[in-house]
Chain A
Amino acid sequence: MMHTSFSWRDLISEAVAGLASRPARTLLTVLGTVLGVAALVATVGIAQTAGNRIVGTFSELEATSVVVSNNRGYYGSGPAPVAFPQDAESRIARLNGVEAVGVMGPVNVNGALVSTVTLDDPTGLNEFQMDVVAASPGLFDAVKGQMRMGRWFDAGHDARADNVVVLGPGAAQKLGVFRVDQQPVVFIGDAPYVVMGVLRDVARQADLLNAIIMPEGTARADYDYVSGTTVQIDVALGASQLIGKQAPIALNPDDPGTYRVRVPPAPDALRNSVEGDVNSLFLILGGVSLLVGAIGIANVTLVSVLERVGEIGLRRAVGARRRHIASQFLLESTAMGLVGGVIGATVGILVVVGLAASRQWTPVLSMWIPVGAPLLGGMTGLIAGIYPSLRASALEPVDALRSGT
């Protein structure tokens, strides 16, 4: 005789009817999976959003900075430094992706002390040993500097080797220079220099804040300054890796490897490490809630099997095979998990979007999450339903019918 069968269509409609006949219980059961999946989605989403945010703030400054230097090693262990060409600034500025570039290097003033006025004051110190730094005109933009007063020197000062300096805020404080409109003078040793500006702040090369900064041309004329030690480049977002490769070639085509280049870490690596930190803890939390959800489904499905023993007996009596019974209960639990996954993913995404909106961040979520989360819920339901389904299918029809409805 032809075996009895159970079409997919009938299986689905029976499972749906089974769930719909106890709507309140079904919803409560689904709630566990909703919470688990929502927690997972929100965790991953928040981590991705925050990771993106952190990278975003880093990149304003870090990701756009490329530094080339010619001193090899901190203790001079390498070969003698190779000087940068005098037109370093224009060589680099030509590269596509460079926003600003400047050269800087220490000036050896042979131990000369710096002072504003020659004044014998036995109680106070008015001569200081200070860092003197030579800089190219473009450095101001390359370090994203801001002036407190006055202005930064330009190419003219550099070319004429004018005796002008710009003070870092620390140096100005120390020397007692509080205004520049009357062109105060500082003495390096005996040589006078007009202070044409005082910095407020720099975003890079914080050494400048306590230094006396003069044009490179002036340093060459007055001291035996040969070349800067550092080329600071401000690049467009995303161009740092490229400029990091091109800059040494532009500076020294014969032997580009002679310079050390410092570029920011690739953004992906940074983002991954941030996400990794945030994720691992909360993923465990989400996983635990999902496990609790699965246990809830398993529990309710098991109770449902015990309650519906009479139904199982009847179905066996009218021709349902063991596998038909098992598949019905398995589909019911899987459907509960799937519905929980869909609702949970929705809730989780709303949480991420809501949080991002409240902080005015851009919500970031991988494509696989809205697709994967319901599947995860369905898998949870499927796994949770295995044991109850086997219990249901293992019932002997005689025993099932004896128990009553």
Chain B
Amino acid sequence: MTTEQQLDWPSGDVPVLSLDGIGRTYMSGEVEVAALADVHLQVRRGEYVSIVGPSGSGKSTLLNILGLLDRPTAGSYLFEGREVASLNETDRTAVRGRRIGFVFQAFHLLSHRTVVENVTMSMLYTGVSPKERVERARSALRSVGLDHRADFTPTRLSGGERQRVAIARAVVAEPAVLLADEPTGNLDSRTSEAILGLFDQLRAGGLTIVMITHDSSVAQRADRSVRIRDGRLTQVEAA
């Protein structure tokens, strides 16, 4: 498939993510370890997909490749119809910064900055004016129910509130896809439920979500769930 000539923003029914034969091997000393092998996955616009697997199954590697944080060693990755597996660092950073939102298990909030500053962070490098950044950040915080915490520092927030700030940060730049890596991993079951409810809400709003988890009950909240084991997607099931 030649992809170089494709448009930046193809319209129509092009999948947001399309992995074709993706592999990722690491050199561990002299030994080559395959973290991912021959992965095929398509995620359509507006879909909510969970990738479930035990630790060491390669799901973090898969998320890193999906998020353009890491390069695959084999295969083709079309992001919104554009080949990104072979992009240089600068172009990958541009796609990552403009089109992908991240939610991490560890939140990755800057503890010395206020909540609203943390949210504006995801628009810092994409040419949004400072004034508009703050406006959009406050509106995103409102949508996750945290506008009253905007000027707190994250150290004064509960775990669930922190993750909601992280979600606000991920969606405020209007990404094509939200990648969530164990978003409920550090939260108790009640708070987890609230976060998953927020995901349902974002899904209903048309956001494409890919969530990685080791917890099948969490995974079942998605439209469909993909199981990963030993670096292979072994099972695709309808939710």
With both beta carbons as reference points, the residue of chain A lying nearest to B113 in the complex is identified as A17
Cα distance A246–B125 in the bound complex, in angstroms? 74
B108 touches A319 (CB 8 A): no
Cβ contacts under 8 Å, A22 to chain B: 112
With both beta carbons as reference points, the residue of chain B lying nearest to A14 in the complex is identified as B124
Cβ contacts under 8 Å, A315 to chain B: 121, 124-125
Cα distance A1–B7 in the bound complex, in angstroms? 10
Cα distance A315–B117 in the bound complex, in angstroms? 13
A4 touches B126 (CB 8 A): yes
B91 touches A405 (CB 8 A): no
A398 touches B125 (CB 8 A): no
A3 touches B90 (CB 8 A): yes
A316 touches B93 (CB 8 A): yes
List CB contacts (< 8 Å) of A287-324 with chain B. 310-311, 313-322, 324
Cα distance A319–B173 in the bound complex, in angstroms? 11
In the complex with contacts A317-B96, A319-B94, A401-B69, A6-B125 CB distance below 8 A: yes
Q: Report the minimal beta-carbon distance from A26 to chain B, rounded to whole angstroms.
A: 12
A321 touches B106 (CB 8 A): no
Cα distance A253–B227 in the bound complex, in angstroms? 113
Cβ contacts under 8 Å, B127 to chain A: 2, 4-5
With both beta carbons as reference points, the residue of chain B lying nearest to A324 in the complex is identified as B125
In the complex with contacts A9-B130, A313-B108, A405-B106, A1-B125 CB distance below 8 A: no
Interface size, chain A (Cβ < 8 Å) = 31
Cβ contacts under 8 Å, A313 to chain B: 108
With both beta carbons as reference points, the residue of chain B lying nearest to A320 in the complex is identified as B125
A154 interface contact, C-beta 8 A: no
A1's contact among B64, B69, B95, B111, by CB below 8 Å, is which? B95
B210 interface contact, C-beta 8 A: no
Interface string of A137-151 (1 = CB under 8 A from B): 000000000000000
A401 touches B108 (CB 8 A): yes
B109 interface contact, C-beta 8 A: yes
A4's contact among B104, B113, B125, by CB below 8 Å, is which? B125
In the complex with contacts A1-B8, A17-B113, A319-B70 CB distance below 8 A: no
Q: Report the minimal beta-carbon distance from A331 to chain B, rounded to whole angstroms.
A: 14
| Given A3-B90, A319-B97, 20 further pairs, Cβ under 8 A | A1-B95, A1-B99, A5-B125, A21-B113, A311-B108, A311-B110, A313-B108, A315-B124, A316-B93, A317-B97, A317-B108, A318-B96, A318-B121, A318-B169, A319-B93, A319-B98, A319-B126, A320-B93, A398-B69, A401-B104
Could you list some 6 contacts between A and B, CB below 8 A? A1-B95, A4-B93, A4-B127, A318-B173, A319-B125, A405-B110
Q: Which residues of B contact A (CB under 8 A)?
A: 8, 64, 67, 69-70, 89-91, 93-100, 102, 104, 106-113, 117, 121-122, 124-127, 130, 169, 173
Q: Which residues of A contact B (CB under 8 A)?
A: 1-6, 9-10, 14, 17, 21-22, 310-311, 313-322, 324, 396-398, 401, 404-405
